């Protein structure tokens, strides 16, 4: 069955370190998204991509970067981790280009920055 | 900009009670509306959606109607079960012309159903 996976599921790192969170989908979806989930904020969009070599900034993109070298993967990099980036990160994907498309979410990565 | 407002809870109900979770939105253009559910320790799953005014989305006994005049998309269920305990998110997607936009979420409503 097609799916979307994230790794690692849990990560503890130190302030200032570079961290990369992986997202892999086997649906062959064009669109991929990264969100962070924080208490009192719901989910907020970090970056998204409409296809290979395409990336766009979301609402809370400062301190994060993404690259899209193939259809299946959209890794999220924290260039220099900060305690404010402690959060649960969700990757999602969708097939089409319309506003009605369903986004399918991965299981999440819990990141703690000490 | 776009925004979604929903009651945060926690909302605690007894089994078989009637459920309403309110959701209102602000959006430019004509958004699609979604309810997602998150069970403990899991990612989000689509519960239901509606793409135009007066559409009713439904799934697993849950319903929500897209009300353009009141900019609302309230979630209802006639008789809740313990297994419905979860966090529920209202969300919208507004097409910007560049492609599939990211979703704008409400803060989530934690629902607790007691036996």
* Cα–Cα dist A23/A107, whole Å: 10
Q: What is the mean pLDDT of residues A72-76?
A: 98
Q: Is A90 on the interface with B (CB under 8 A)?
A: yes
Which residue among A44, A99, A106 sits closest to B93, beta carbon to beta carbon? A99
CB of B62 within 8 A of CB of B36? no
pLDDT above 90 (res A13): yes
Tokens coding A46 = 């970090």
Which residue among B46, B89, B100 sits closest to A42, beta carbon to beta carbon? B89
CB contact under 8 A, B105 and A44: yes
Nearest-neighbour CA in chain A from B60: distance (Å): 17
pLDDT above 80 (res B101): no
Tokens coding A110 = 């819990």
Contact list in B for residue A35 (CB cut-off 8 A) is 102-103, 105
Please report which confidence band the pLDDT of residue B42 belongs to, taking 50, 70 and 90 as the band edges: confident
């Amino acid at each position: 069955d097609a799916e979307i996976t994230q790794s690692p599921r849990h990560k503890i790192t130190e302030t200032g370190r570079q961290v990369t969170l992986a997202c892999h989908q086997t649906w062959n979806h064009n669109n991929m998204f990264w969100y962070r989930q924080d208490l009192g904020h719901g989910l907020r969009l970090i970056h998204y991509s409409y296809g290979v070599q395409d990336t766009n900034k979301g609402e809370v993109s400062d301190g994060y970067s993404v690259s899209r070298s193939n259809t299946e993967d959209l890794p999220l990099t924290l260039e220099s981790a900060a305690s404010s980036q402690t959060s649960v990160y969700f990757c999602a994907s969708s097939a089409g280009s319309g506003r009605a498309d369903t986004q399918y979410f991965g299981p999440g990565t819990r990141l703690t920055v000490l | 900009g776009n925004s979604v407002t929903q009651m945060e809870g926690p909302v605690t109900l007894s089994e078989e009670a009637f459920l309403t979770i309110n959701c209102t939105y602000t959006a430019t253009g004509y958004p699609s509306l979604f309810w997602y559910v998150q069970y403990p320790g899991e990612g989000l799953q689509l519960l239901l959606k509606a793409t135009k005014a007066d559409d009713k989305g439904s799934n697993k006994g849950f319903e929500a109607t897209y009300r353009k005049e009141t900019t609302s998309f309230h979630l209802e269920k006639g008789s809740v079960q313990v297994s419905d305990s979860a966090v529920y998110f209202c969300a919208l997607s507004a097409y910007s012309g560049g492609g599939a936009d990211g979703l704008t979420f409400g803060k989530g409503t934690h629902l607790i159903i007691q036996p």
